[in-house]
Structure 1
Amino acid sequence: MSRVFFSEALDTAATWWRVHRQDGVTLGFTTHDRDLWFDGVLHRAAPGMLPSAIRRTAGFEDDPGDVEGALSHGSVREEDLASGRFDGARIESGIVDWETLERARLYEGSMTRVVREAAGFKAELASRKADLAYDPIPLTSPSCRASFCGPECALNPASFELRAKALNYDADAGVLTLDLSDCAPYRLGQLRWLDGPATGLTHAIIEAQGDRVTLAERLDFQLDVPLRVRLREGCDRTLATCNTRFANAANFRGEPFLPGNDLLAQYPMPR
């Protein structure tokens, strides 16, 4: 855009920022004293939320930032922060003219950590330049490096998902009882909530037997069962499972027959 902000002594500008959570929810906020609607998102007036100073550099190093605010806005609930709904959320921030709605995006990144501080919270941000630190060259491994049903795996996730109902939850053991007779295929898989206070959250399944699955994380909210869930099968990332169970050995991303480092320590022995 051609607008130059703060070119005059007095400007009608406010800060805006958007949070795109991994459960599909998008939240918009602005430091203006009334709500603003643009880009298809309603930005709620939240003067208590203060994005830090944004610094953009020409180098490859990350441009970090943080956001502080009081737990006063209804869309930022303490239970959502505690349950991890904001972890890994994508962040956009910028400046907007609250009269003409001319705007500019100044920062884009993700939330790396959300912590409680007294009566509020603090979110640490990592800019998009942090992706440059990722090494795209994979290391060798005997197990598959691809995400199950991901792009490299090439399997259709719809073929390995099933909807069920959660009937009971044992908080002490972390065990969830489902209306299924055999949950074994979902060991090392995922469970996504479709109902209740955890709607949209995904949990890893570390064990499955009979009609029960054991979740990797403890649930800190009350479940009013029965609730609908979506299950995705799991994979132990071995070549045998990839070949015999999924017939997908052609897309196996691993080197199960590559000699390990212990081969370097071997030496010939006389007979």
Structure 2
Amino acid sequence: MGVQAALEAHLKSGLTTVARCWGIERTDGCKFGFTDHDLDLSFEGHVFKAQTGLTSTALEQSTGLSVDNTEAMGALSDASVSDADIEAGRFDQAQVFCWLVNWSDVSERTLMFRGTIGELRRAGGAFHAELRGLTEALNRPLGRVFQKPCTAVLGDSCCGFDLTSTGYSDLRPVDDVSENRIFRWRNLSGFAPGWFERGRLTVQSGDAKGLKQTIKQDRIEGEIRIIELWEPIRASITSDDQVLLEAGCDKRHTTCRFKFNNILNFQGFPDIPGEDWMMSYPRQAGENSGGSLR
């Protein structure tokens, strides 16, 4: 008898021993488990802790491309979901699973929901997490965009560039940081000014390990190299925490060619005509190149 068939037979028996189990897997690999049963349960690589205060509203499921959704509510606790981790964004886009399980035989179970955490809010020592189903991804626009700048993300499968190549990343301890957003080094040399602009800073150690932000500016003032982020890292950063700096790309054809030597994978159309091309007219001299009309 299959797993679901066994659970169905159990439910039809009239005397049931079922519970709900919620599994959360963050993007950094950390796993959390919750159950409304009064004893801990374990399966699928999760340990579901009893009496952890997680409950959920009814699951709304629909056909077509409508988004399945529900909401989970639980207590904030340093032992499970902490206020600091939510503030740092560690639960953003975390994977969520919900099983209906026979707690007397956990092999009899069925997966009722799978999705990601959407909006996450907290108040009064509790958190409320909006859970979005797998059909959420189908509502995103897809297709090729025809534009002059490159549409790829530096280092992704379309770009194909290896950011671990020598000269395109730098791992070093923090010298000085203010507002968790502005980093300063005295000995950060060997890179042209603006080399890391539009790149990424990832914290490799300390309380903020695993958190990352996009670099807004990379400038030199005297002997000081200043790396400024668009938004602050949402966790404590101290001197000597290790950070990884990755080179940035402004999506231009010349940058792809001369900075990264990756022109074969350029995903833009640098010679596409501009908007004023529609107003061009025949003439005997000059070129209709798609440039500005003079």
- Which of 135, 141, 149 lines up with 2:147 in the alignment? 141
1:126 counterpart letter in structure 2:
R
* Kept after mapping to 2: 8 A contact 1:23/1:201: no
Among 254, 263, 268, the alignment partner of 1:254 is: 268
Are 2:172 and 1:164 equivalent residues in the alignment?
yes
1:83-232 equivalent positions in 2, closer than 5 A: 83-102=88-107, 103-159=109-165, 160-171=168-179, 174-178=181-185, 180-181=188-189, 184-210=194-220, 211-232=225-246
Provide the C-alpha distance between the structure 1 equivalents of 2:270 and 2:169, rounded to a whole number of angstroms: 28
Of 33, 36, 45, which aligns to 1:40?
45
Task: Report deviation, 1:182.
Answer: 5.0
Q: What's the CA shift for 1:267?
A: 5.0
| Whole-Å separation in 2 of the counterparts to 1:189 and 1:177 | 16
1:77 has 2:91 as partner:
no
Q: Does 1:242 align with 2:250?
A: no
CA drift of 1:88 comes to 1.4
- Taking a change above 3 Å as real, the CA distance of residues 21 and 262 of structure 1, as seen in their structure-2 partners, is farther
Conserved in 2, the CA contact under 8 Å of 1:24 and 1:200? no
CA distance in structure 1 between the partners assigned to 2:283 and 2:243 by the alignment: 62
* TM superposition shift of 1:270: 8.7
Q: Tell whether the 8 Å contact from 1:46 to 1:73 is kept in structure 2 after alignment.
A: no
Alpha-carbon contact 2:76-2:82 (below 8 Å) kept: yes
> TM-score, normalised to structure 1's length?
0.90
RMSD (Å), alpha carbons = 2.2
d(CA) in 1 for partners of 2:154, 2:280: 39
The worse-fitting range, judged by mean Cα deviation, of 178-187 and 162-171 is 178-187
**Match of 2:12, SS?**
coil
Instruction: Decide which moves more: 188-197 or 111-120.
Output: 111-120
TM-score (norm 2): 0.84
Secondary structure (helix, strand or coil) at the match of 1:79 reads helix
| Structure 2: runs of 5 or more not aligned | 285-294
CA shift, 1:246, in A, is 0.9
Q: Secondary structure at the match of 1:93?
A: strand
Deviation at 1:258, TM superposition (A): 0.9
CA deviation string 1:141-176 (max 9, x = no partner)? 21111110100001123223331111221118x211
> Which amino acid is the alignment partner of residue 176 of structure 1?
F
**CA distance, structure 2, for counterparts of residue 26 and residue 224 of structure 1:** 26
Partner of 1:10: 15
Displacement of 1:269 after TM fit? 8.7
How many residues are aligned here?
A: 269
CA contact (8 A) 2:149 2:253 kept: yes
Q: Which one-letter code corresponds to 1:218 in the other structure?
A: P
Code of the residue aligned with 1:258 in structure 2: it is: I
